[in-house]
Amino acid sequence: MSLIEISDLSKTYQTRTGDVTALSHVDLGIAEGEFVSILGPSGCGKTTLLRILAGLEGHTAGTATIADVPIGAPRGEAGMVFQKATLLPWLNILDNVLLPLSLRRRVTGADRTHARTLLTMVGLEDFTTKHPHELSGGMQQRAAICRALVHDPAVLLMDEPFGALDAMTRDALNVEVNRIWRETGTTAVLITHSISEAVFLAERVVVMTPRPGRIAEIIDIPFGKTRTPELLGDPEFAALTAHIRRHFEVNA
């Protein structure tokens, strides 16, 4: 059974110079607890697809549901991590993590305990009273992940959250994301330009075509749930990334 179900989904934008189709007839089911990476060239509609799943954008045709409920607006089932951490500079890290709850209701002691537990999970237990400018970019993104998880969402949506980070920090955070996903059991959907990141993190990689975005191939990743840095040197890992890269060489 799929927790997320996308059926014949299309999205067309109306512009001054005419209609632009971002997504065309996309079909995809994502199981509860699964990790899926969506990979494609710039402008293929992958971020549009994620925003539709988050309820931040509508679609033109087809359907998108979470737990059989149509997605029409932001809902509590989903937490979103954006390309930039977008932490509020006047709040400390703990209060930034608690922000989604404080916008809905009064924050409780149990909420603060839960937020501290999440920050401890990502190694930020000593930075709860710091402000965003006192943290590195990688640490800010860890806090942003905690913020997305603070209300225990069923689905974690990530839009290229590590794209602006250096390679070493990015690799370290990929290991962290894998661990968080395993420990929380959250269904995860990652948008990325990085083939190696997509393969390292996902159980399935969805490869999209250039605009209008369609699904070119869905690839099962056979490495089990636990991923370690040693996987990057595995010959099968190299073969899978080379297979995916050929999609973009053909379309270059």
Give residue 252's pLDDT: 47
Give the domain extent around 220: 1-73+196-243
Predicted structure pTM score: 0.90
CATH of the domain at 1: 3.40.50.300
The single-letter DSSP state of residue 209 is P
The single-letter DSSP state of residue 76 is T
Provide the number of structural domains found in the chain: 1
> Residue 211's CB: how many other CB atoms inside 10 A?
18
Residues 6+ apart with CB under 8 A from 116: 94, 125, 128
Q: Which helix (H) or strand (E) holds 74?
A: none
- 90 domain residue, yes or no: no
- 105 domain residue, yes or no: no
Give residue 196's pLDDT: 93
- 251 domain residue, yes or no: no
Give residue 237's pLDDT: 96
- 111 domain residue, yes or no: no
- 215 domain residue, yes or no: yes
- 249 domain residue, yes or no: no
- 89 domain residue, yes or no: no
* Amino acid sitting at position 234: D
Q: How far is CA 67 from CA 91, 148, 249, in A?
A: 34, 19, 37
Give residue 123's pLDDT: 86
- 64 domain residue, yes or no: yes
pLDDT tens-digit profile, the chain (252 residues): 789 999 999 999 988 888 889 999 999 999 999 999 999 888 888 999 999 999 999 999 999 999 999 998 887 788 888 888 889 999 999 999 999 888 888 889 999 999 999 999 888 999 999 999 999 888 998 899 999 999 888 999 999 888 767 788 888 889 989 998 998 899 999 999 899 999 999 999 999 998 889 999 999 999 999 999 999 999 999 999 999 999 888 554
> Residue 230's CB: how many other CB atoms inside 10 A?
8
Give residue 250's pLDDT: 56
- Would you say the C-alpha torsion 185, 37, 178, 140 has a positive or negative sign? negative
d(CA 98, CA 2): 30
Are 67 and 31 contacting, i.e. CB atoms less than 8 angstroms apart? no
Residues 6+ apart with CB under 8 A from 248: 41
d(CA 109, CA 7): 41
- Alpha carbon dihedral 227, 82, 54, 75, in 10-degree steps, equals 100
d(CA 128, CA 126): 6
d(CA 249, CA 152): 40
